[in-house]
Amino acid sequence: MGAFLGVNIDHVATVRQARYAKNASSINVEPDPVEAALAAERGGAIGITAHLRQDRRHVVDRDIFRLKEAIVTKLNLEMGNSPEIVAIALKVLPADVCLVPESREEVTTEGGLDCVTHRTTLEPTLKAMRDAGIRVSLFIDPEPDQIAAAVALGAPVVELHTGAYAEASGAAREAELVRLIEAARLATDAGIQVNAGHGLNYTNVGPILTLPQLVELNIGHSIVARALFVGLEQATREMVECLRF
């Protein structure tokens, strides 16, 4: 029982943008998401996740190219299925991309990608990524129809959206955990790797480790929040300890 940790550094970029939104590509701004990524790697992260949004509200293009060059683990590029961002991904060539829904009104990703409704628009993107040697993960709600759509699309990985679990309590949380476990079982039975993430922190992550054949958890906000007090390397190390096999 356990999982590997990918650290999402978006919120480091959010702090930078609070002051330097108009010149985020300058070399003299701080904090630097690349330095954060290197600290997370030293703390035991097996990958770095960054979401390049269409509105560039936190991570910007230069960050993605610099991350690809600087990190020694792997880059997981979160992205919406837009032609502009797809083209950037095919230039950067990250190890992984995670396709997520994207709304300009949301503060952070609020739900899973609807692979049933958007299957025809997702198919060419998955093919392009596959042809470029990029592994694709689909960020989906833990629903049987979404797992079936991921199978039909030939996705090698799904990342199960844990937001409903993280926001619930008591019996409702237990029900969400069961839903996640059942979705993970469906995915693994179909030969798809299971990752998970969203809203996970040091206190609620333990039960998620019961998901069958869980491989990776991608966690950002909680680690960056903890880093304010202990530093990002130590905050990452503490989360790695929570996920130990």
pLDDT tens string 43-96: 999 999 999 999 999 999 999 999 999 999 999 999 999 999 999 999 999 999
Residue 174: active-site member: no
Which one of the listed residues 11, 58, 161, 198 is annotated catalytic? 198
Residue with tokens 């910007």: 60
Residue 78: active-site member: yes
Torsion of CA 159, 173, 177, 155, to 10 degrees: -20
- Using alpha carbons only, give the angle 239, 244, 245 rounded to the nearest 5 degrees: 155
- Smallest CA-to-CA distance from 122 within 103, 101, 95 is with 101
Which one of the listed residues 41, 78, 216, 233 is annotated catalytic? 78
Which one of the listed residues 11, 41, 51, 216 is annotated catalytic? 51
The tokens for 123 are 């198919």
Q: Rounded to two decimals, what is the model's pTM? A: 0.94
pLDDT of res. 106: 47
The 10s digit of each residue's pLDDT in 104-155 is 554 455 689 999 999 999 999 999 999 999 999 999 999 999 999 999 999 9
According to CATH, what is the number of the domain 4-242?
3.20.20.70
Residue 58: active-site member: no
Contact indicator for 80, 53 with CB cutoff of 8 Å: yes
Q: Is the peptide bond before 31 cis (omega within 30 degrees of 0)?
A: yes
Domain ranges of the chain: 4-242
Helix H, strand E, coil C: the string for 83-109 is HHHHHHHHHHCCCEEEECCCCCCCCCC
The answer, yes or no, to whether residue 220 has pLDDT greater than 80, is yes
